[in-house]
Amino acid sequence: MNANPQVKTADAGQVPHYVPAGNECELFETAWKRQLPLLLKGPTGCGKTRFVSHMAERLELPLSTVSCHDDLTAADLTGRFLLKGGETVWVDGPLTRSVRGGGICYLDEIVEARKDVAVVIHPLTDDRRILPLERTGEVLEAPSEFMLVVSYNPGYQNILKTLKPSTKQRFIAIEFDFLPREQEVAIVAAESGLAERHVVPLVTLAHRLRALKGHDLEEGVSTRLLVYCASLIESGLKPRDAIRAALIEPLTDDPDVRAALFEVANAVV
């Protein structure tokens, strides 16, 4: 059984393209040197995961990314006993592997995970830097090469899906947001291959749709969706169809809201 199908381990090689918004690269590097855990806050699809992959490659550290979800338990991160060839053997989870081997463990959307996850990360996020494994009786000391990075989206309206202050206050935090217009145009053009002049109206539309966040929409258009939309257009899809598929349908299931979004799109593109 694969206990952690959602875990991705980064390929070594090229440094993933990342355009900084400020001094976040320097902050990351300093936190890494001082062995401080890092919290990335910001809306979905604004570059947090790309930033972590970029920094891992730059610092030549192995990266293990876990996309947290509401069934993810502490045991999914630390490990469990599994039956293998008639024997029960302990199998490390991704957090334990990162602590044993050194490297970055990135828990994406940590608020989605079960409450017991906070219990395992707390002793790793203070000066003890330990990971007690109750089931094996081990207490692992994190090597200097280990760094814990977590992310969450404070924009969700759900009060239950917020990070407790007792957890939040254990991290250095960096706030992420969508990049200024010109930088976002350049990123979307670079990622999709679509010429900047065709990307500009899409970014203008994204700004209009983001302004509706909190009124009719829970979330605005992400940079990720803009890249998808531009990629569809670059591959020959009509802009209207690409906008529908990438910028409107993913945002809402409500027919009235959808119709209103189409009106906004028609006025811009």
Residues that bind ligand ADP (CB under 6 A): 17-19, 42, 44-50, 179, 187, 191, 223-224, 227
CB of residue 144 vs ligand ADP: minimum separation in angstroms? Answer: 26
Q: Which of 146, 91, 90 is nearest to 123 (CA)?
A: 146
CB of residue 117 vs ligand ADP: minimum separation in angstroms? Answer: 18
Say how far apart CA 155 and CA 168 lie, in whole Å.
Answer: 15
Tell the burial category of 266 from Cβ atoms under 10 Å away from its Cβ (0-12, 13-18, 19+): exposed
Give 70 or 116: the residue with its C-beta nearer to ligand ADP: 70
Give 92 or 108: the residue with its C-beta nearer to ligand ADP: 108
Give 8 or 258: the residue with its C-beta nearer to ligand ADP: 8
Say how far apart CA 120 and CA 50 lie, in whole Å.
Answer: 25
Q: Which of 54, 58, 60, 135 is nearest to 96 (CA)?
A: 135
32: helix, strand or coil: helix
Residue that is written with structure tokens 């890249």 in the block = 227
CB of residue 1 vs ligand ADP: minimum separation in angstroms? Answer: 28
> What residue number has its CB nearest to ligand ADP?
47
CB of residue 49 vs ligand ADP: minimum separation in angstroms? Answer: 3
Cα-atom radius of gyration of the chain, to the nearest Å? Answer: 21
Give 227 or 265: the residue with its C-beta nearer to ligand ADP: 227
Give 19 or 75: the residue with its C-beta nearer to ligand ADP: 19
CB of residue 168 vs ligand ADP: minimum separation in angstroms? Answer: 18
